[in-house]
Chains A and B, each alone.
Chain A
Amino acid sequence: MEMEARATDDCSVSERPPSPSLSVTRTVIAFVRSDRRAMVGSILFLLYIAIALLGPSITLYDSDSPNLAVRMQGPSWAHWLGTDRIGRDVLTRIIAGAQVSLQIAVGAVVVALILGAPLGALGSYLGGAVDSLVQRVMDAIMAFPSLVLALALVALAGPSVIMLWFAIAFSSIPRYARLVRSGVLAQKEREYVYAAQAMGQSPMRILLRQILPNIMAPIAVQLTLDFARAIGVEAALSYLGLGMSAPYISWGTMIRDAQDFLEVAPWLAIFPGLALAGVIMAFTLLADALRDRMDPRLRRSLSTLGQSSAISHADHPRVLGS
């Protein structure tokens, strides 16, 4: 959220806001109140984070111990969302699953950013052969269906938390590389960069201290969107039987297990799916609202895809698969 406030200010003037903490809080509150998407998105977001962090400490049951006396029961006062085939409480398992999805998604997004951003910066800074090599590799990664690539990686290397991070992150790397590259190219010629150069600052320092804060806005939007995507891909991989196995509880695995009992116990499939959809919706709405809020031009450039690709058509294949 802090990034957002800073970036909003940076859109108009490239100075830092005068008193950061106060203006950040104010900006966030104003933002949430101004936009229905932001409102719904942040409520769901806070709910999800709270559940994921508090996790097992707020539940009545144990997520893993079976209780055959109450197996396959529908929703009731004792078990709000019913019980599964060996009598485990569905609500408890959904809450435990929130933690796993958060863990995988945060890791995947961070890995994508850490790998992608330096590649983009390197390309735009060095230019020439390095730049076009990086660009070609990024184009190629973009041509892969992200889910299929993740599937293949996990299938080959076997599922583990770190492998899932990389498998899910892999296809997002080009997005950060490209964002940072175009951001740096756009900022490179601005006065404040020349001023910093004249003051004798090192290129690394200029990149991190001067340019980075100015391209934070689109990166923050992309991070939020990728978070939604990472949660969806993790669930899909688990559903396909390629995610983390027990004792890890994934919403995708819960839905996979519920499939065989669709006729007799539909709630087993329905509730984890609702949780999943709710979380993905939270991040999607937030990203959407953030994008409009931070830079209305961003939205325009996205929607005028057809027009702008007529102009910058040489760049067209780079958007492959995005």
Chain B
Amino acid sequence: MLLQYIAMRVVQLIPMALVVTMVVFFVMMIVPGDPVMVMLGAVEGAQISEEVYNAMRARLGLDQPLIVQYVNWLWNVLQGDFGTSLTYRTPALEVILHRLVPTMYLMVGGLIIAVIIAVPAGVLSAIHNNTKWDHLATGFVILGITVPTFWLALVAILIFAVYLGWFPSIGYTPPQKDFVGFLSHLTLPMTVVALNIAATVLRFQRQDFLEQMHQDYVRTARAKGLSERSVMWKHVLRNSLITTLTVVGLQMAYVSGLITIVETVFNYPGIGYLLLNSIHTRDFVVVQGVVLFMVFLVIVVNLLVDILYAAVDPRIRYR
């Protein structure tokens, strides 16, 4: 039953994945300049004979109808061929994968810390609704949502790197080389990412917990004579964690944007920083690759959340 459900979800994703790749493919069409001339290495206004031009055009497949070009391109992407980076002169996928590890540390670390902060804080502010503690949590949520990330990152650098000197302001060290250096480089960017995600998770956790507290099963659990603590932290929390999971899944698209900004501020060599650098060096093959990669990450994480969701809650599978 679960397998069947997973298969159904994957099949449902296919049209969406097709549209996503079409959007990426056609957006790239608006790159100014003629790719044929670029590949010929011709300067603006240079005289190129028609034969040479047409030969290059045919070699690049640009003489084919647009739809054929798209299918060819998609076929290559599916085989992991994102094209060759114009600046690095290596396959774009290789360049991206190389930068993926630092991003994963930042992203996964940030998500974990965010959940560790936000879930208990959300539960507490729901249980102690309308107290000082709740208002404090609400204040944190408002600040977390409204303060621009890049500015928060700069203020963090100003306070903890420039004034206090506790952490390096920018850069990255691989953990296998120097673990302490790795942690001290990771701390500031990861905190910024975590605080940002935590605000949203806290908000939903609190709201959902408030809703759950008035459900019938809570009354039943109380009537059974369970202690208030066990009702809240075992029964209600377990149910509202499903929501938290969904929220984290839904946040993935946002998180990719967040990562891009944070990595840029901290000169942290992940795929977000790579994206920005490639934009500035006009390496559109890599730009396209990173965008595709991020979108697929979003889709895959949401698929995983769906599957996990169905595994936890059997009602979904029987629909």
Contacts and interface: CB of A to CB of B under 8 A. Distances in A.
Interface of A: 136-137, 139-149, 151-153, 155-158, 228, 232, 235-236, 239-242, 252, 255, 259, 262-263, 266, 269-270, 273, 276-277, 280-281, 284-285, 299-300, 302-307, 309-310, 313-314, 316-317, 319-322
Given A263-B162, A273-B155, A285-B142, A152 B27 contact: yes
Closest 3 CB pairs of A and B: A306-B243, A321-B253, A147-B257
A277 B158 contact: no
B151 A276 contact: yes
Contact of A305 (B150, B246, B287): B246
Contacts of B15: 136
B302 A320 contact: yes
B246 A143 contact: no
A145 B250 contact: no
Contact of B19 (A139, A259, A305, A319): A139
B150 A236 contact: yes
Given A136-B19, A305-B246, A277 B298 contact: no
B268 interface: no
B81 interface: no
Interface of B: 12-13, 15-16, 19-20, 22-23, 27-28, 30-32, 142, 145-151, 154-155, 157-158, 162, 204, 207-208, 210-211, 239-240, 242-243, 246-247, 250, 252-258, 260-261, 264, 275-276, 279-280, 284, 287, 290-291, 294-295, 298-299, 302, 306, 309, 313, 315-316, 319
A143 B299 contact: yes
B314 to A, nearest CB: 10
A277 B148 contact: yes
Given A269-B158, A305-B243, A320 B261 contact: no
Nearest to B242: A306
28 contacts: A144-B295, A145-B255, A145-B260, A147-B258, A148-B260, A151-B276, A156-B28, A156-B31, A157-B30, A240-B150, A240-B261, A240-B264, A240-B276, A262-B154, A262-B157, A269-B155, A269-B158, A280-B146, A281-B142, A281-B146, A299-B207, A303-B207, A305-B247, A306-B239, A306-B246, A307-B243, A309-B309, A321-B252
Contact of B154 (A149, A269, A284, A313): A269
A304 B154 contact: no
A140 B154 contact: no
Contacts of A141: 23
Contact of A140 (B16, B210, B291): B16
A232 B23 CA distance: 24
Contacts of B16: 136, 139-140, 143, 317
Nearest to A138: B19
A310 B317 CA distance: 10
Nearest to B151: A273
Contacts of B31: 156
Tell me if A's interface is mostly helix, strand, loop or mixed: helix
Contacts of A269: 151, 154-155, 158
B294 to A, nearest CB: 6
B23 A151 contact: no
Given A240-B264, A255-B154, A304 B23 contact: no
A148 B291 contact: yes
Nearest to A302: B207
Given A269-B158, A305-B246, A317-B16, 8 more contacts: A140-B22, A141-B23, A146-B253, A148-B260, A151-B275, A151-B279, A317-B13, A320-B302
B21 to A, nearest CB: 9
A318 B306 CA distance: 12
B253 A255 contact: no
Given A143-B16, A151-B275, A273-B155, A321 B23 contact: no
Given A151-B275, A153-B27, A305-B247, A236 B148 contact: yes
A212 B251 CA distance: 30
A144 B13 CA distance: 14
B284 A232 contact: no
Contacts of B204: 303, 305
Contacts of A146: 253-254, 257
A317 B302 contact: yes
B246 A309 contact: yes
A61 B143 CA distance: 32
A313 B291 contact: no
Contact of A143 (B158, B243, B295, B319): B295
A232 B20 contact: no
Contacts of B295: 143-145
A145 B146 contact: no
Contacts of A321: 250, 252-254, 298
A273 B154 contact: yes
A252 B264 CA distance: 14
B243 A228 contact: no
